[in-house]
Amino acid sequence: MLWLVGNAPRALVVRMTEDKMMGKLGKLNRVAVSLLLWGWCGWIVAQTPPAASKTVFNILDYGAHRDGSASSTEAFRRAIAAAGKAGGGTVYVPAGKYTTGPIQMVSNLTLDFDAGSIVRFPATVLPLTPGRQQGIETPTPIPLIGGHDLENVAVIGRGVLTTNNLDWMKLHSRALRSVADAGSANGANWERLLVDLEAQKPISQEEYRAAASELRPSFVRFMNSKNIRIDGLRFIGSSMWTVHLLYSENAVVENLVIEAYPGVHADGIVVDSSRFVKLENNYIDAGDDGLVIKSGKDRDGLRVNRPTENVTITNCTVHHAQSALAIGSETSGGVRNVVASNITAIDTVNGIHMKSRRGRGGVVENIRFDNWTMENVGSAITISDAGYQMEGEAPDPGAGAVSQRTPIYRDIAVSHITINGAGGLIDVSGIEEMPLTGVRISDVVGTGRRGLTGAYTDDLELHNVQLNVESGPAFRMTHSTNLELDDVSTRAPIQGTPVIRLEETPGAVVRNSRAFPGTGVFLSTPEGELKDIVFQSNMMANATTPTAAGVLSSRSATPARTREACLVQFDIDLKRPTEVGDEAKTCLDIIAADLKRSPSTTLALIGSDGMRKLGAESSIVSAEDAAQRARNSRDYLVKEKGIDSARIQLYVGEPKIAGPEDIDREEAQMVAGTVFEGNVETILVSQGAELKYQGLTAIK
């Protein structure tokens, strides 16, 4: 009987035994007998001895060194080989400190890092494997954990996985963007490959290998795989992207703690031409984008033509990252059916960042963002397929004929968002030849320096949106059709500036909106355009002038200075290199606010000498002038903004990068605060951090 129960289907055993008992005990209730037998058989099955085959493979049994005294690479390899030979199982990593090279997985494998295990992956040159890097199919270094063409795989546990981004950068350096050079995400060979692919030149294996030699591996990557689970782990540092799902499906990534800040291209979780993916309950402190959706880049991405689709993201917190959630800019294969809800973004350069450019192509559609909070971000909500420029790329070529390479954005919903402190609150910008279509933004309240700006949209709807800004119109739209502004307002109207400015938006509807006390002009248009606006059911008792037509004053038209604007335009006055002008003061005001929010933060002011350029002009700035400019900037912060001079360090020189600040100037905030281009660069340095630029001389 025991043999039968242990090996026969449970229902069959119950049925056979039940029939015998009912024959002998006909008066018993049949249901009671059935329940009794189900419980009895379950007890017998539980007591049956396990099968003889081994399903757990402890790496200590295969020679691992739990004190980190020697590499455990071979132990991981042997344990995984044993599991593969057995048809699958769990490779178990008990508490201890381990050092290992890449861990290559097999199908039907769980890699379980127990609490107390710390596994370090030193930087080293790795073998190459087929893959995709930044949207381009190419040989890539093998991932530190993962594999390709796998199924039923899991990387789980409460252990710590760690590597050092700076060590990887020393192995694979790159060219930074400068005034004269667009730079490179990786190196000269990588840029040559991109150019040749776009030109449809034949690519030799030698050229691919040369480009691959400049690439860094993902920490965890599964390619062409399915039924994937990554759960519970803590990542400290990252070689490049921390978790990368490529051409994969049915994946769950949950309960991770990713601490990859600072780090070059140290993204958190990247979903790349994959489908049926769930990301939930993750904390991500990333050196680059936190949560990322991609699907290939330019001509190569259009050739592959694999979308990312059917993705849910929920209950995540993102800190420091370049973007809390980025869609793009590699979107050539298309992105559709993505829902991101219950997200908190703190100190990120961008919050929601949908980005692309002419030449990418691809359709991005059916996207929803709901229930977000953002605090101290650069740009809170950006939905734009215009002008994004990656390292090494030429500027946007401008409007052209619609083709397969024209990006399309449509049917995007953003709702229930709270923004507390942003440089820019909302940017919704399409391109002239292909406007954004069907964007709906509702139930948003935000405070920041700049409000909503947008252009080239069709069927954009705003419902119950309140933006409280420091300068410029709270809402400004141009070149848009079928525009609806329903229940929009600002509680902080600015004297001399309209709440809403609409230009070339025929047929726009403004309704159910309210003017708060202190409002001058509520709605403004150019001369002759007011008649084309539907203005109805609005509460204008507090507005001096509900509607007006005319030229927007230059003060109102000038874009508000924001953290990201200052990154690339900091009052470069070649004729007065020591002067701290109005625009520079506005940028320094932002720095002062950051310093006041973070009392433990210090500031490095760098007077940049050498060649400075502004458009066609150029001039040599002497070390003396650069030093004086830095001193004048310090004096402004001390005397006008009340910043303690002890928190400000002064330097002169042209920074040469030798540490984790080895990133583009535009990305510098994600490493050390904010860097401003121009005659003075400023770097916010967090408590305990070290300024790792070279080429600087300290001054008083």
Burial track 147-176 (b if 16+ CB lie within 10 A, e otherwise): bbebbbbbbbbbbbbbbbbbebbeebebbe
| Cα dihedral 478/480/485/488 (nearest 10) | -30
What pLDDT sits at residue 47? 37
Whether residue 572 sits in one domain with residue 673: yes
The structural domain count of the chain equals 3
Whether residue 601 sits in one domain with residue 495: no
Q: Which of 560, 579, 614 is the last residue of a domain?
A: 560
The helix/strand count (H/E) of the chain reads as 13, 44
Whether residue 547 sits in one domain with residue 513: yes
Whether residue 635 sits in one domain with residue 525: no
Q: What is the pTM assigned to this prediction?
A: 0.76
Whether residue 575 sits in one domain with residue 667: yes
Q: Extract the tokens encoding 480.
A: 């848009």
Whether residue 694 sits in one domain with residue 568: yes
What percentage of the chain reaches a pLDDT higher than 70?
A: 77
Residue 92 within any structural domain of the chain = no
Whether residue 578 sits in one domain with residue 493: no
Residue 575 within any structural domain of the chain = yes
Residue 611 within any structural domain of the chain = yes
**Neighbouring C-beta atoms of residue 20, cutoff 10 Å:** 9
Backbone φ, ψ for residue 352 (5° rounding): -85, 125
Whether residue 551 sits in one domain with residue 593: no
What pLDDT sits at residue 8? 37
Residue 253 within any structural domain of the chain = no
Domain CATH for 594: 3.30.1330.60
> Can you tell me whether residue 137 is helix, strand or coil?
strand
| Number of residues assigned to the chain | 700
What pLDDT sits at residue 145? 98
Whether residue 689 sits in one domain with residue 609: yes
Contact, 445 vs 451, CB < 8 A? no
Q: Extract the tokens encoding 94.
A: 């008990």
Contact, 215 vs 186, CB < 8 A? yes
Whether residue 617 sits in one domain with residue 551: no
What pLDDT sits at residue 666? 32
Question: What separation in angstroms does the CA of 611 have from each of 560, 618, 632?
Answer: 28, 7, 20
CA-based nearest residue to 33, from 47, 46, 15: 15
Q: Which of 10, 31, 47 is the last residue of a domain?
A: 47
Residue 669 belongs to what domain range?
Answer: 563-699
Give the chain's residues under pLDDT 50: 1-53, 177-182, 555-574, 612-618, 657-680
Residue 261 within any structural domain of the chain = no
Backbone φ, ψ for residue 298 (5° rounding): 55, -140
User: Which residues sit opposite 363 in a β-bridge?
Assistant: 408
Residue 12 within any structural domain of the chain = yes
Whether residue 681 sits in one domain with residue 642: yes
pLDDT tens, residue by residue, 591-629: 777 677 667 677 777 776 665 444 344 456 677 877 887
What pLDDT sits at residue 575? 54
Question: What separation in angstroms does the CA of 453 have from each of 143, 374, 500, 549?
Answer: 41, 19, 10, 19
Residue 604 within any structural domain of the chain = yes
Residue 299 within any structural domain of the chain = no
Question: What separation in angstroms does the CA of 286 have from each of 220, 242, 280, 383, 597?
Answer: 15, 9, 16, 21, 21
Whether residue 689 sits in one domain with residue 569: yes
Q: Which of 560, 579, 605 is the last residue of a domain?
A: 560
What pLDDT sits at residue 597? 62
